[in-house]
Structure 1
Amino acid sequence: MTYLLSADLPAASAGARFRSLIERDAILQMPGAHNGLAAIQARDAGFEALYLSGAAVSAAMGLPDLGILTVDDMAFHIRQIARASSLPILVDGDTGYGEALNVMHMVRSFEDAGAGAVQIEDQILPKKCGHLNDKHLASPQDMAAKVNAARKARRDLVIVARTDAAASEGIEGTVARAKLYLEAGADAIFPEALTSVDMFRDVAQRLPGVKLLANMTEFGRTPALTAAEFQELGYRMVIWPVSSLRVAAKAQEELFAEIRRAGTPKALIARMQTRAELYDTIRYFDYETLDRSIVTTVLPSA
Structure 2
Amino acid sequence: MADLLSPRDRPSLRDLLAGPGPLVAPGAYDALSARLVEQAGFDVVYMTGFGTTAGLLGRPDVGLLSAAEMVDNARRMVAAVDVPVIADGDTGYGNAINVIRTVQSYEQAGVAAIQLEDQVTPKKCGHMAGKEIVSLPEMLGKIRAAVDARRDLLVIARTDAVAVEGLDAAVERAKAFADAGADLLFVEAPTSEEDIEEVASRLAGVGPLVFNWAEGGKTPPLSLERIRELGFSLVLYPIGTLLAATAGIRGVLETLRKEGTPVSALPGLPAFDEFTDLVGLKEIGTLEQRYR
Indicate the TM-score class for this superposition, using the shorter chain for normalisation.
over 0.9
Q: What SS does structure 2 have at the residue aligned with 1:189?
A: strand
1:178 aligns with 2:140: no
Equivalent runs, 1:208-287 vs 2, <5 Å: 208-209=204-205, 210-287=207-284
> Which of the numbers 104, 107, 127 marks the counterpart of 2:100?
104
- The letter of the residue matching 1:208 is A
Q: For the Cα contact (< 8 Å) 2:21–2:232, is it kept in 1?
A: no
> 1:57 is matched with which residue?
52
Q: Which whole-Å deviations, capped at 9, do the CAs of 1:111-163 have from their partners, x for residues lacking one?
A: 11110000001110231111122211111111111111111110100000000
> Which of the numbers 282, 285, 288 marks the counterpart of 1:288?
285
Q: Which whole-Å deviations, capped at 9, do the CAs of 1:180-225 have from their partners, x for residues lacking one?
A: 1111111111110011222111111111222000011111111112
> 2:117 is matched with which residue?
121
> 2:165 is matched with which residue?
169
- The letter of the residue matching 1:262 is E
> 1:143 is matched with which residue?
139
Give the superposition deviation at 1:5. Answer: 4.9
Q: For the Cα contact (< 8 Å) 2:3–2:283, is it kept in 1?
A: no
Give the superposition deviation at 1:249. Answer: 1.0
Q: For the Cα contact (< 8 Å) 1:32–1:243, is it kept in 2?
A: yes
Task: Report the aligned-residue RMSD.
Answer: 1.4
> Which of the numbers 33, 37, 43 marks the counterpart of 2:38?
43
Distance in 2 between the 1:199 and 1:3 partners?
44
Q: For the Cα contact (< 8 Å) 1:130–1:192, is it kept in 2?
A: yes
Percentage of identical aligned residues: 39
Q: For the Cα contact (< 8 Å) 1:121–1:161, is it kept in 2?
A: yes
Q: What SS does structure 1 have at the residue aligned with 2:28?
A: coil
Distance in 1 between the 2:157 and 2:55 partners?
25
- The letter of the residue matching 2:49 is G
Q: Which whole-Å deviations, capped at 9, do the CAs of 1:43-69 have from their partners, x for residues lacking one?
A: 121101110011101011212211111
Q: What SS does structure 1 have at the residue aligned with 2:287?
A: helix
Q: Which of the pair has more CA radius of gyration?
A: 1
Distance in 1 between the 2:249 and 2:238 partners?
19
Q: What SS does structure 2 have at the residue aligned with 1:39?
A: helix
Q: Which runs of 5+ in 2 are unaligned?
A: none
Distance in 2 between the 1:26 and 1:119 partners?
19
> 2:4 is matched with which residue?
4
The ranges of structure 1 where at least 4 consecutive aligned residues each deviate by more than 6 angstroms after the TM superposition are: none
Q: Which moved more, 1:213-222 or 1:33-42?
A: 33-42
Give the superposition deviation at 1:167. Answer: 1.8
Q: Which whole-Å deviations, capped at 9, do the CAs of 1:74-108 have from their partners, x for residues lacking one?
A: 11211221111121111111111000111111101
Q: What SS does structure 2 have at the residue aligned with 1:133?
A: coil
> 1:24 is matched with which residue?
19
Q: For the Cα contact (< 8 Å) 1:195–1:223, is it kept in 2?
A: yes
Q: For the Cα contact (< 8 Å) 2:93–2:121, is it kept in 1?
A: no
Number of aligned residue pairs: 290
For normalisation by structure 2, the TM-score amounts to 0.95
Distance in 2 between the 1:243 and 1:258 partners?
23
> Which of the numbers 185, 193, 198 marks the counterpart of 2:194?
198
Q: What SS does structure 2 have at the residue aligned with 1:245?
A: helix
Q: What SS does structure 2 have at the residue aligned with 1:65?
A: coil
Distance in 2 between the 1:275 and 1:129 partners?
36
For normalisation by structure 1, the TM-score amounts to 0.92
Distance in 2 between the 1:282 and 1:168 partners?
43
